[in-house]
Chains A and B, each alone.
Chain A
Amino acid sequence: MGLELFNTLILLLLVVAALIALRVKDLLTASVVFAVYSFLMCLLWAEMGAVDVAFTEATVGAGISTVVMIATIFNLKRKSSD
């Protein structure tokens, strides 16, 4: 039963992380919460047996895209209107 609970918990956390990433006003916070979303996704896939995909999502999805997004935001305005 443990795995089922773990699985469900991660899925609900995913939806919460996605909503927060889209609603928060400051872009830097949004991209950090988006990194959390990617790591949760990587955790879920590792649990579902897709280890290669989890590894790629952790490095490429959460790592590089967050770094690149923050690097871009530092050149733009950090406040978002919505």
Chain B
Amino acid sequence: MFEDGSIINELFIERLNYLIYVVLLLIGLHAMIAKNNLIKKLIGMSIFQTAIILFYVSVGVKEGATIPIYLPEHDPHGSHASHSDGNETEQSNHGPVVLDAELVKGYSNPLPHVLMLTAIVVGVATLGLALALCLRIYQGYGTIEEDEILAKIEGQEMGTKPSVVVKSVDSSKPATSQSAKPASKPKGSSSPSPKRSKASPRTKAKATSPTTKAKTSGAKPVSPKRKAAASKSTTTGSKKSPAKPKTAASKSTTKAKPKPRAKPKAKPTARAKATSTAKKATASKPKPKTPKK
């Protein structure tokens, strides 16, 4: 139904709402995926949800129709003056009467409004819960920047062993930093590994992971050297700008490192992995710590 050239005018003039709703949706979606700060991600989430609500409300709009509340002449209870005898004698005054098609056009469509009351409240409930999560994350990791949290998590998972052996990356790490490859379907995964690759291009070229695991098409496992740099930067406390952990680590190495930093050359054979896991097993067994939950 479009002649040429009128698509632009159609989209920009008559239905600016639909275009603006798409723009807001994209802003929200991009913020949820790309923003580093957790609170910014939440603001992006709220913008994403309000954009969808804008779409629903603009579906229910009728040209020249009033709000979906009965005007006094259709009011089921009659004008309030005669409210007393309103409901006994239905017929005497204009009690509730079924409106014919002409009058229906006068009121805008109430159904999308009802649906959006629910969507707004669901949005606020999700926002409240996510803010509680931010508080817990801040308590646990002292930061609400996504990449600092990830560095801390890897630091904690690696730091649980007294003897720091550059444990070859087991795939649980790439699972957390699993980058969902942009398959033909748009990926929604906001997993942090894209951020990790943001940092790594500036550092040395990554060696492939020494584990025997075949390199999956999507997963970019982090090489031990990269791991050493990350753990060094975490142990010495990440600097103000975590974006460049490599340089930050070198600048901040002056502080005495608490853990002896043994960096045996990680031999990419299963044996290295076996010995490290065996050592890990012996290390973890004598201290029957409650399992890291």
Contact = CB atoms under 8 A, between A and B. Distances in A.
Interface of A: 7-8, 11-12, 14-15, 18-19, 21-22, 27, 30-31, 34, 37-38, 41, 44-45, 48-53, 56-57, 60-61, 64-65, 68-69, 72-73, 75-77, 80-82
B37 A82 contact: yes
Contacts of A7: 16-17
A53 B52 CA distance: 13
Contacts of A15: 20, 23-24, 27
B150 interface: no
A65 B144 contact: no
Contacts of B193: none
Contacts of A57: 50, 53, 120
Interface size bracket, B side: 35 or more
B121 A18 contact: no
Given A14-B24, A21-B43, A75-B135, A52 B117 contact: yes
Given A41-B50, A56-B120, A61-B120, A49 B65 contact: yes
A65 B121 contact: no
B71 to A, nearest CB: 13
5 nearest A-B residue pairs (beta carbon): A80-B37, A72-B131, A11-B20, A49-B108, A82-B36
A76 B144 CA distance: 8
Q: Is the interface of B mostly helix, strand, loop or mixed?
A: helix
Contact of A31 (B43, B54, B113, B134): B43
A80 B123 CA distance: 23
Given A27-B37, A49-B67, A76-B134, A18 B57 contact: no
Given A53-B116, A61-B123, A61-B124, A76 B135 contact: yes
Interface in B3-38: 16-17, 20, 23-24, 27-28, 31, 35-37
27 contacts: A11-B20, A18-B24, A18-B47, A21-B43, A22-B40, A22-B44, A22-B47, A30-B39, A41-B53, A48-B61, A49-B60, A49-B62, A49-B108, A50-B67, A52-B117, A53-B116, A53-B117, A56-B121, A61-B123, A65-B123, A65-B124, A69-B127, A72-B131, A75-B138, A76-B135, A77-B144, A81-B36
